[in-house]
Amino acid sequence: MHARFYAPDADAAGDLVDLPEDEAAHLTRVLRLRAGAAIRVFNGRGREFDARVERAGKGGVHVVVERSREPLAREARVAVTLAQAVLKSDKLDEVVRDAVMMGVAAVLPLVAARSEVALAALQRGRRQQRWQRVAVAAAKQSGRAIVPRIMDPVTFDEVTARLAAMTLPGPGLMFVEPSAAAESVALADLDPAPPRETTMIVGPEGGWTREEIERASAVCRLVTLGGRTLRADAMPVVALAALFAIWKEL
């Protein structure tokens, strides 16, 4: 199978496009491909193409788009936005990677009351740009032709406000610990009929506060994984896999 690269400017056969710097470095320094090499490129918006390296060197990598082809992986029918609380260290890198590979449509990092990082620190550290690069790499590895958008980090209050204003996809599903809320439902009891889109909300290591649960209950459903309490970095992947199984996406 030909090597596969992210080329956001590729739109149609005959295009001559430049690969982004990271992709060019991978082609020349890691795979050591040269002019004339046959490759595949995808534009991150659902299109994939056969292509050929026109020029590769210190000035960058230029490729000729040859013909359109079907992406390696189909997209999920349910567009899931993962609203994920920022985790300690670099754990959110792994969550973004795995969620993109599994098929999420977008990721919205959020800062909750018990998050151990401030919103301003995330913005100063340019973490959103880093997570977007992780998303590109995950889409590339998993065969997706769409690169999910990693949104700018926001507060938990902003997430609930957007759900109330319907500027985030609904119905919202917020995952809570089994003992956190009497009005929660088990994931297995959700309607198996898949929605067109949804927002899945997952909390930080310390869990949600009572106030956050009360605010969220007004705009989304509170969901548990039965009697299980999972690590914060495992929860989004397990929950997404379970939802996709219920909706017959896997």
| DSSP sequence for 41-95 | EE-BBS-EEEEEEEEEETTEEEEEEEEEE--SSPPPSSEEEEEEE--STTHHHHH
103 backbone φψ class: left, alpha, beta (φ>0; ψ -120 to 50): left
Structure tokens at 20: 């982004």
The enclosing H or E element of 149 equals strand 149-150
Q: In the chain, where are the structural domains located?
A: 4-69, 79-246
What are phi and psi for residue 169, nearest 5 degrees? Answer: -65, 135
Cβ within 8 Å of residue 12, ≥6 positions away: 65, 68
Question: What is the distance of C-alpha 41 from the center of its chain?
Answer: 20
The CATH number assigned to the domain with range 4-69 reads 2.40.240.20
Q: What is the pLDDT of residue 201?
A: 98
Q: Is this structure's pTM higher than 0.85?
A: yes
94-148 confidence digits (pLDDT tens): 999 999 999 999 999 999 999 988 888 888 878 999 999 999 999 999 999 999 9
The reply to whether 4-69 and 79-246 are identical in fold is no
Q: How confident is the model over 24-38, as pLDDT tens digits? A: 999 999 999 999 999
Three-state secondary-structure class, residue 230: coil
Q: What is the pLDDT of residues 45-104, one digit of tens each?
A: 999 999 999 999 988 999 999 999 999 899 999 999 999 999 998 999 999 999 999 999
CATH topology for the 79-246 domain? Alpha/beta knot (3.40.1280)
C-alpha closest to that of 158 among 168, 149, 171, 170: 168
